[in-house]
Each structure stands twice: as C-alpha cells, then as structure tokens.
Amino acid sequence: MELVKKIPRTIVLALALAVLTPGAAAPASAATAFKVLKSMCATVDGTGNCTDGKTPSGTLVSDTSHNIYGTTQEGGAHGGGTVFQLLFNSTTLAYRYRKLYDFCDLTNCADGAAPTNARLVVDANGVIYGTTAAGGGSNNGVVFTLTPNETKTHYHFDKIYDFCVEFSACQDGAKPTGGLTFAGDATNSIYDGIAPLYGSTLMGGRSTNGGVAFSLTPAKTEGGTPSVKQLYKFCQFGHSACTDGSNPIGNMVVDKNGNLWGATMAGGGVNNPGTLFKLVPTVSGPWAETTVYSFCFAANCADGMTPMTGLAVDTSGNFYGTTSTGGLAFRKCPSTGCGVLFKLTSNGSNESTLYSFCKLDKCADGGAPAGVVLDSNGNIYGATGIGGDHHNGDFYKLAGTTFTDLYDVKCAGGNCRQGITPSGAMLINANDDLFGNLLDGGVHEEGGVVFKLSP
C-alpha cells in the first residue's frame, strides 16, 4: 500500500508552502462556534491501523435528510480508505459517524483504494457514486457505487469502471482526484441516477500524461454496463508547452448550457502555472476545449499560480476558486506568494483577483487557501492552511471586499486536537452552517477530523 498512500498525500499536502514565525494577532474574529463531529483514529487495530478511517479529504455532500457523506484516504479495515456517513438526528440535531465501506476489501485492492480530494454524488434513491485515486485493476483508480437496501442500514458496493485497464497506455485516464458532478449540481438539484456524471483524472490520457475529462452514464438496466467517454485529453500541444493545461484537479462545474468548466494545476504557460478551461459538447468525438485563463499572467504571478481545488459558482453563473501559490509577494511567502482567491465571469471573458492572502501583518489573514463555497447572498467562505492568529490556518468570510476572520485553528503545545490542514471546499446548509474536513490532527493526535463551523 506504499504507492497508494504516497501519491495522494503528495497532492493534498501541496498546500504546505511555508513555515511561519510567531507574529501579530489576527483581526478580531466573528462569534463563531467550531465543533468536531468526528475525530478519526478512534479505533486502532493491532498493527496501528485506524480502522474507522484516517485522513478525510475532499468536499462533503449531503442528502435530502441532511445526512452528510465523505471519504477518508487511508485507514479503514484494510488501510485503503473508507466511505463514511454522518447520520443526522432531527430530534437532537446531532450527527453520528457511520462507516459505509472499507476499500481494499478485495485482493490487490481490486475494488479501489485511496479516494483522494473526492466529492461524492448521492442520487434521489440514496445511491452513492464516487472515485478512488488508486487500486482497481491497474492501481490507477475506479468509479464505484454504493447502493442502500430499503432501510438504508446496509450498502452494496459495485465497481462500475476501472481506469487504465481497457485501453493501452492509460488513454482513458488514470488517478481521478477531482470528484464527480452533474448538470444541475451547481443549483443544488438532486441527481436522478440517469444523467451523465462528469469527472477528471490527474494523469493518463496521452503520452504526455496530462489527464482527461470524462463522462460516465450509469447503466440503464441492473447488471448493465455504464457508458464511459473521454471528453478531452489535456496537454495536446506537447509536454513542454501544454498551453491547453495539464493535470485537471478539483471540482468541475456544469453550466446551464451543458458546458464543463474547471481548472488544471499545471500547463498554460511559462513555469506551468495552471489554467481555467471550458469544454463544449460537439456533435461527435472529443469536446471542444478553450483555455479561458492562464495563471501567472500578471507580473510576478500576482494573479496566482497552481489552482488545486477546482471551481464554485454563484447564482449568476460566475465562477470562484483559489490558487495555492502566487499572489502578492509578502514576507511570509516571499518567493512563491501565499495564494489568491479569484473570480471568473460567467462567460469566461474576465478573470480578477478578489483577495491575495497573507496580506495582513504576520499573515494574520492566513495563506495557502483550500476551496471555497458561496451562500445564497454571494458571500464566500473558505479555509487556509497556514497563518492566522495561531499560525495554523484560519476560516474566513469574504463579503464583497470585506475580509472577516471567522475562526483560527488552534494547536496547544503541538497537539492539534481540533484538526489541522483543510481539504477541499466546505459544505454549506440552509442555516449557513459549514462542514468540512481537516487532514491531520484530532483528539487522537493523528487521522484528521470532520467539523462543523457555525458563523
């Protein structure tokens, strides 16, 4: 399992950009309640494996009953990660952690392993769709479903696609790490279990290994075969000049016209700064790709570099996201920048930087941002991996141009009992409560946590 663990953690821990020194206090935080809903590694077997899951990553999702679903990259009964549920009690308003599946249940992890930076989809019947970044027939990941019984007390696992097995040289892609989406997802519609799902792989596709965007249409009949199509293979213009982008990552968005929008973490120009792209359906064959924006366009990469978390969308169809590096070069990240929060207009005609992190003295506003989510009023919420009042990152709100520090991550004596290092974007409910994952720390000193933040 060494390869399974090494590759995913390289991806998600790419946010660790700098070591901060003690500094001035952050701006006054709003009255915000932080609650750990689950601290991983509560159960450990004789070999030290966290059987309840370890390292929760990616973006959480919910169903119509307010239950929350997510994945862990590691841990579980076989060390290959898990799918979990936070079961909501409408009487007590509490959440109960329940593990739904342990990966690597089959020999050589044929069922998949290490769901990384994943975002699940739950359909109207409670069926869960997801991806893993490793395992499967070639150790390059799978697409899977978990189907509940009538009482939803048990889930049946099915692997519905194996990457890099049917096609030579991984032409169909390898290592999906961006999660799944569908038309209507951006407007909080419920997936019908019939329409195409869309996702991306970090690698594979061509000899340049630039990754692919794909669609998967579930089988029409029980036991049938799903339809999988490669929509676009990135880095078509050579490994040294991937002007169309390379290595798509994070959440993609389907707009009202059925076009796909997303980000690549590399390619696009000098120093491989990453891109924003648009994919438009064609009558037949691959979709038409447009590189909407190539980062590091501004002097000294003041517009950001290396997007890692994909896109969010507002009610007007404008897109938002973050870069892990770039931005104005402040003292804490003098050579790389501490990342930015950006906006792309709905037609892709204009990209602008809304906020450059580590702007405040001593990086009190945080740096190395994770993904973002918007409320119904267009306010933006996110988390950072470094900086803040306690130098371990913070949670923030951006309303227009007003930045508010909501909560600072605390680590007393090196023990980060509340967790540390955010992953993915947060989930927001109708009450503007925020839910998310922290990769490390927790009550058991490792394993990470799932949290609720109530501004």
- What is the DSSP code string of 83-152? EEEEEE-TTT--EEEEEEEES--SGGGTT-B---S---EEBTT--EEEEESB-TTTTS-EEEEEEE-TTS
d(CA 119, CA 178) in angstroms, rounded, equals: 7
pLDDT recorded at residue 46: 87
Say if residue 6's pLDDT is above 50: no
Residue 88 lies in a domain: yes
Smallest CA-to-CA distance from 14 within 214, 234, 264, 307 is with: 307
Tell me whether residue 180 is in a domain. yes
Confidence (pLDDT) at 95? 97
Mind listing the pLDDT tens digit for each residue in 111-123?
A: 999 999 989 999 9
Beta carbons within 8 Å of 392's beta carbon, 6+ residues apart: 386, 408, 409, 410, 411, 416, 420
Q: Is the pLDDT of residue 26 over 60?
A: no
pLDDT value of residue 10: 42
Instruction: Assess if residue 453 is contained within a domain.
Output: no
Could you count the other beta carbons within 10 Å of the beta carbon of residue 240? 8
pLDDT at 283 over 50: yes
> SS3 letters for 346-392?
CCCCCEEEEEECCCCHHHCCCEEEEEEEECCCCCEEEEEEEECCCCE
Q: Is the pLDDT of residue 14 over 50?
A: no
pLDDT band for 15, please (50, 70, 90 cuts): very low
Residue 269, pLDDT score: 81
Domains in the chain, number: 1
Distance CA(442)–CA(9), nearest Å, equals: 18
pLDDT tens digits for range 95-153: 999 999 999 999 999 999 999 998 999 999 999 999 999 999 999 999 999 999 999 99
State pTM to two decimals.
0.92
Phi, then psi, of 343 in degrees rounded to 5: -130, 140
Residue, of 298 and 22, whose pLDDT is higher: 298
User: Residue 383: pLDDT above 70?
Assistant: yes
Best CA proximity match to 82, nearest among 63, 59, 64, 57: 57
CATH number, position 407: 2.120.10.30
Residue 32 has what pLDDT? 84
Residue 257 has pLDDT above 90, yes or no: yes
Least confident of 206-210, 332-336, 388-392: 332-336
Q: Using only the alpha carbons of the chain, give its radius of gyration.
A: 20
- Relative to beta strand 82-88, strand 68-74 is antiparallel
* Strand 128-132 to 434-440 pairing: unpaired
The answer to whether residue 38 is domain-embedded is yes
What's the confidence (pLDDT) of residue 290? 96
CA distance 209 to 170: 9
Contact yes or no for 401/373 (Cβ under 8 A): no
Q: What is the mean pLDDT of the chain?
A: 90
Say what the alpha-carbon torsion angle 106, 111, 113, 115 is, to the nearest 10 degrees. Answer: -150
Mean pLDDT to the nearest integer, 304-324 = 96
Instruction: For residue 28, name the pLDDT band (cuts at 50, 70, 90).
Output: very low
Cα angle 115-42-438, degrees, rounded to a multiple of 5: 50
Helix (H, G, I), strand (E, B), or coil: what is residue 187? helix
Domain membership flag for residue 455: no
Query: What whole-number distance in Å separates Cα of residue 200 and Cα of residue 192?
Result: 21
Residue 439 reports pLDDT greater than 80: yes
Closest CA to 49 of 14, 71, 12, 82: 82
Tell me the per-residue pLDDT of 347-367, one tens digit each, with 9 for 90 and over: 999 999 999 999 898 899 999
pLDDT of res. 238? 62
**Cβ(341)–Cβ(374) below 8 Å:** no
Domain contains 450 = no
Residue 58 has pLDDT above 70, yes or no: yes
* Nearest residue to 448 via CA among 111, 163, 55: 55
Query: How distant is the alpha carbon of residue 74 from its chain centre?
Result: 16
Is residue 69 domain-resident? yes
For residue 97, being part of any structural domain is answered with yes
Termini Cα distance of the chain: 40
Over pLDDT 90: what percentage of the chain? 79
Residue 309, domain extent:
2-444
Give the pLDDT mean for 422-427. 96
Q: What is the mean pLDDT of residues 263-278?
A: 93
Q: What is the pLDDT of residue 22?
A: 31
